[in-house]
Amino acid sequence: MEKYNIIPMGDNCMIADAMNKIGLRKTSYPFDWISHASYYYNTNIIYNFEILNRLVNGNFSVNSFLGDAFTNGTKTYRNIWFPHEDEENIEETFQKYERRFERLKNDVLTKKNIFIFMTRHYVINETAFDKIVAQILSYNPENKIVFFYGSNHPYMNKAKYKHCVAYQHLFYDMEKITPELEYEYTYYRPWVESYLRSLFTKLGMISS
């Protein structure tokens, strides 16, 4: 497979963490370590792609993205949660996101990319997913998508996605959620890592 750049689009840190472990995370992007505030039951995927659209069209500022997340005591702004950021270094955090968004815009406009995203429980409806696909292909018709999800998206097997989407469903058992997150860390995240390792090995991006 020709060389592709990989961009995690959320909806949480699981993808960036897995990409680190399989050796394919080469740089940082703005959606790597964020999540929706209701991360089991909702998603920031649609919002993240809206932000990307504004960024590419020159209608975006980091201030509008981070807002008062680091001064309101919640690390949350507009239901976007920044759990991994340090509230004590606000200026440094803003500068870091400025760099990440600048890098994202440049890479989206100049490279062939694989966009990876997931949801645990939330189901993205077909119309919204088609809009995301159209947006990604508008940047480069050779772009690809990797989408995996914990609740079934039955429309994913339609022929219209075969040329650009790799998808996988692994049921995310909401009844096994505990405050300690044992189910996620001992079962679900290792599966994500295994799936991505297998996929990128087949694509020739990891040595077997």
Separation in Å, CA 111 to CA 25, 115, 143, 201: 16, 12, 9, 21
- Cα four-point dihedral sign 133, 134, 140, 142: positive
165 pLDDT more than 70: yes
Domain count, the chain: 1
The residues, any chain, with a CB within 8 Å of residue 42's CB and separated by 6 or more, are 36, 79, 122
How does DSSP assign 157-178, residue by residue? GSGGGTTTEEEEE----GGG--
pLDDT band at 89 (very low <50, low <70, confident <90, very high): confident
* 144 lies in some domain: yes
* 129 lies in some domain: yes
CB atoms within 10 A of CB 159: 6
pLDDT (0 to 100) of residue 88 = 82
61 pLDDT more than 60: yes
pLDDT (0 to 100) of residue 113 = 98
130 pLDDT more than 60: yes
Q: What percent of the chain clears pLDDT 90, i.e. is strictly above it?
A: 90
pLDDT (0 to 100) of residue 86 = 83
Six token digits for residue 40: 């089991």
pLDDT (0 to 100) of residue 39 = 82
* 207 lies in some domain: no
pLDDT (mean) for 152-177: 95
1 pLDDT more than 60: no
pLDDT (0 to 100) of residue 111 = 97
From CA 182, how far away is CA 184, in angstroms rounded? 5
Structural domain of 19: 5-202
* 34 lies in some domain: yes
Helix axes 45-56, 90-110, angle to 10 degrees: 70
131 pLDDT more than 80: yes
* 208 lies in some domain: no
Q: Please check whether residue 111 is in contact with residue 132, taking contact to mean a CB–CB distance below 8 angstroms.
A: no
208 pLDDT more than 70: no
Closest CA to 11 of 186, 150, 130: 150
Instruction: Reduce the DSSP state of residue 146 to 3 states and report it.
Output: strand
* 13 lies in some domain: yes
| Average pLDDT in the chain | 95
